[in-house]
């Protein structure tokens, strides 16, 4: 069997559908997971993707904000949209995909968009930061209680935490900046351990290699400054870890016309 999966915070799928089409033509993924689609399901550009052979969709959407989607050239079944923190936000969708090979078998794909958490890392001063920590705690509890990672499962998405020293451009400078604070790192690490999951990106590209998937729009020359963070993740359940072949970060998309501030990450299982 072989499967290629891409995860990408697209930051408005309708605005950047041409970039999605370009990426598909370049890399031919079997499954594409998008975050921050920022549209209702009826507004999702499914026809453009169907024309490229991607006719199967699992979408959790809302007007103008958030939203996640799984797009596949293979059939999707058992679609679930889990509501975290009772907020009603469209931040998770999962589905089974049957992988082609000598014997077909399903892989459960979970697509997440974790709250960014605002600017101030203080739950008293900033309710958004409290929401983020609560979301991560609920993720960990779900993994632990329901055994989400016991079978063939892949978790992808914009988890909005850069956990390791070389997941950010300056560990010391960002210790008090939302996305790299110790409490966020601890919360995400706990969720990872509750699978238990394998951090596929860091398995292929271990520390101390610098790995970034996001560069701020605020930097006028993002490539020269290179003040990035690894906010996008791919986690594998234990039964799939031996199939991990490669991980590719498509940094060039950050320099495309009207880019997302995130770049796609590709995982190949073989």
Q: Where are the alpha helices (DSSP H) in the chain?
A: 17-27, 46-50, 127-146, 171-174, 182-194, 200-204, 222-225
Residue ranges of domains in the chain, CATH in brackets = 3-269 (3.60.10.10)
Provide DSSP, 12-38: -TTTTHHHHHHHHHHH--SEEEEE---
What pLDDT is stored for residue 220 in this prediction? 83
pLDDT for 101 equals 65
Rounded distance between C-alpha atoms, residue 70 and residue 95, angstroms: 8
User: What six digits make up the tokens of 55?
Assistant: 């006719």
Does 192 score more than 60 pLDDT? Answer: yes
- Decide if pLDDT at 67 tops 90: yes
User: Quick one: how far is CA 256 from the chain centroid?
Assistant: 20
DSSP character at residue 222: H
Q: pTM higher than 0.95 for the full model?
A: yes
Query: Residue 95: how many CB atoms within 10 A of its CB?
Result: 24
């Amino acid at each position: 069997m072989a499967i290629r999966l891409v995860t990408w915070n697209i930051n408005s799928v309708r605005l950047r559908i041409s970039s999605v089409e370009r990426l598909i033509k370049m890399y031919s993924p079997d499954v594409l997971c998008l975050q921050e689609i920022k549209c209702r399901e009826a507004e999702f550009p499914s026809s453009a993707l169907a024309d490229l052979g991607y006719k199967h969709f699992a979408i959790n959407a809302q007007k103008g904000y958030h939203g996640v989607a799984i797009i596949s050239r293979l059939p999707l079944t058992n679609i679930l949209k889990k509501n975290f923190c009772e907020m009603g936000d469209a931040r998770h969708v999962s589905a089974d995909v049957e992988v082609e090979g000598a014997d077909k078998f399903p892989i459960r794909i979970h697509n997440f968009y974790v709250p960014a958490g605002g600017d101030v890392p203080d739950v008293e001063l900033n309710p958004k930061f409290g929401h983020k920590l609560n979301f991560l705690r609920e993720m960990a509890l779900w993994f632990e209680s329901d055994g989400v990672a016991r079978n063939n499962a892949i978790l992808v998405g914009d988890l909005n935490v850069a956990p390791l020293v070389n997941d950010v451009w300056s560990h010391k400078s960002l210790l008090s900046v939302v996305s790299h604070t110790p409490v966020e790192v601890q919360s995400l690490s706990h969720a990872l351990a509750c699978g238990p999951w394998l951090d596929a990106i860091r398995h292929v590209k271990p520390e101390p290699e610098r790995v970034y998937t996001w560069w701020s729009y605020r930097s006028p020359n993002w490539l020269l400054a290179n003040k990035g963070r690894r906010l996008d993740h791919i986690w594998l359940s234990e039964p799939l870890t031996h199939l991990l072949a490669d991980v590719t970060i498509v940094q060039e998309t950050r320099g495309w016309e009207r880019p997302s501030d995130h770049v796609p990450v590709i995982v190949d299982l073989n």
